Structure 1
Amino acid sequence: PVDGVIEEMGAITRDKQFTVKQKLYSVEEMIGRSEIVNRYIGGTYIIIYLSPRDYHRIHSPADGTLETQYSLGSASYPVNQIGLTYGKSPLTKNYRMISEFKHQYGSALLVKVGAMYINSIVMLEESKEWRQGDEIAYFSFGSTVILLFEKDTFIPDERLHPSLQVKMGEALGSLAKRKS
């Protein structure tokens, strides 16, 4: 859904701590709503960092319907190496916009984290119906996007790994029908 570098990816567990630039963050702190977090335990997450040189538009990763959208945090700290090393939990304190959308096999979260001193995550799409590739938001400056998928609804592409540069429109994997 964005141009950037995959920072980390893996399975979502109740006690999973996301490692982002040598700092740890719980899924509960990031999402802020335990009723939503509970649905994603056992699923997959992908953290993508956007540097200042990257394309700053965010596109829908799949066809779907926007179910809920809310923001958390009020201040912004650097999301680059310096800010993540010396800041106070920047990904849980930074302004972030969380969008949950329903796709054909379940739901997914698209978490957009604001960059240093810039709280402008601008949502463009007024429609609740998203089509894969639709531009839905943009950052005014480099930042981070985190995708979370429910259990058994996403199969990551085998070529994905931390430090891989990805571009908007490249497949990160495929949606999957849950096993019965």
Structure 2
Amino acid sequence: MKAKVALQYILPHRACSRVVYWATRWRFGPWKHWLISQIVRRYDVDMSQAAEPDIRSYPTFNAFFTRALKAGARAPAGDADTLLCPADGKISQTGRIENGRIFQAKGQSYSAAELLGSEEAAAPYRNGHFATIYLSPRDYHRVHMPADGALTATTHIPGRIFSVAPFAVEAIPRLFARNERLVCHFENQHGPFALVLVGAILVSSISTVWDGLVVPPYASNITAREQRARNIRLARFEEMGRFNMGSTVIVLLPEGASVDATLTPLAPVKMGQRLGQWNATHPS
């Protein structure tokens, strides 16, 4: 385990990720068929839920990895005030943001300000709630809206591209606040909320439905964009982005919303299931 962690600091993250980016888009039939079949077998991927279950029909490995679900494979839980899980995967952590700090794992924490890129952006979440969801290679890799929301701003933050697998999350301090990431800010009648799409080694390619491919290119400086004038509004349960390989998504909620206490670390989750509630009358 120590060797795996040490490699995270030594490996040339961006160079490795560029090679994988190219390899997952190579259309050479024998290569992409072999690679897809390896992932399906190794990670026991359930292709019966895919809109296209035939793995040989995908033109590239990335097309397979970002595959759509068939109609009815997921359904939004609850009513309009029920917050939805934005992705398939496993819970890494959930809980209250305490004085602006977010729990990572085993005594590790980081600040909302460093995650989002500024104290101003983090202010609404100082005593709010968070949910961190890890997407493994077997999971559906599109990210959906936990609630109705108007896009207000995005921030592309440069950084490392450490693995976000559980072993790395437990061992590398402030990992999510150090990795390259895209912060998407939304608001609705209840207040603001944010989705943070965190890149990871070999899998650091992120797209949104409004801008297409955002990462790469990798950032060298923090790039903040005001988005209100574009009038981009997405409905609860609607797709908002995708990881072109797997990674982690973090949901930040203001005080007054809650995350279900039943969502404990390593609990499997599905996109569309109940994540929490707006205007909670009791803490989770």
Give your verdict on TM over 0.5.
Answer: yes
Q: TM-score when scaled to structure 2? A: 0.57
In the alignment, structure 1 segments of 5+ residues that lack a partner are: none
**Do the aligned partners of 1:3 and 1:50 also contact (CA within 8 Å) in 2?**
yes
In the alignment, structure 2 segments of 5+ residues that lack a partner are: 1-85, 212-230
Q: Please list, as runs of the form range in 1=range in 2, the aligned pairs for 1:25-174 lying within 5 A after superposition.
A: 25-85=110-170, 87=172, 89-125=174-210, 128-152=232-256, 154-174=257-277
> Which stretch has the larger CA shift, 124-133 or 114-123?
124-133
1: distance between equivalents of 2:246 and 2:209?
18
RMSD, matched Cα: 2.2
Secondary structure of 1:108's partner? Answer: strand
2: distance between equivalents of 1:156 and 1:119?
27
State the 1:21 CA deviation: 6.7
2: distance between equivalents of 1:2 and 1:150?
20
Relative to its length, the structure with more strand (as a share) is 1
**Do the aligned partners of 1:105 and 1:176 also contact (CA within 8 Å) in 2?**
yes
2: distance between equivalents of 1:62 and 1:133?
7
State the 1:156 CA deviation: 2.5
State the 1:121 CA deviation: 0.8
State the 1:146 CA deviation: 0.6
**Do the aligned partners of 1:75 and 1:117 also contact (CA within 8 Å) in 2?**
no
1: distance between equivalents of 2:237 and 2:277?
14
- Rg larger for: 2
Alignment-derived partner of residue 176 in structure 1 = 279
Secondary structure of 2:274's partner? Answer: coil
State the 1:87 CA deviation: 4.7
Alignment-derived partner of residue 87 in structure 2 = 2
| Distance of aligned partners of 1:40 and 1:86 in 2 relative to their CA distance in 1, 3 Å threshold | closer
1: distance between equivalents of 2:89 and 2:159?
24
One-letter amino acid of the structure 2 residue matched with residue 73 of structure 1? P
> Which stretch has the larger CA shift, 8-17 or 60-69?
8-17
**Do the aligned partners of 2:100 and 2:113 also contact (CA within 8 Å) in 1?**
no
- Aligned residue pairs: how many? 177
**Do the aligned partners of 1:84 and 1:90 also contact (CA within 8 Å) in 2?**
yes
Q: TM-score when scaled to structure 1? A: 0.87
> Which stretch has the larger CA shift, 99-108 or 122-131?
122-131
One-letter amino acid of the structure 1 residue matched with residue 200 of structure 2? A
1: distance between equivalents of 2:144 and 2:132?
15
> Which stretch has the larger CA shift, 156-165 or 58-67?
156-165
Higher RCO, Cα 8 Å, sep 6+? 1
Relative to its length, the structure with more helix (as a share) is 2
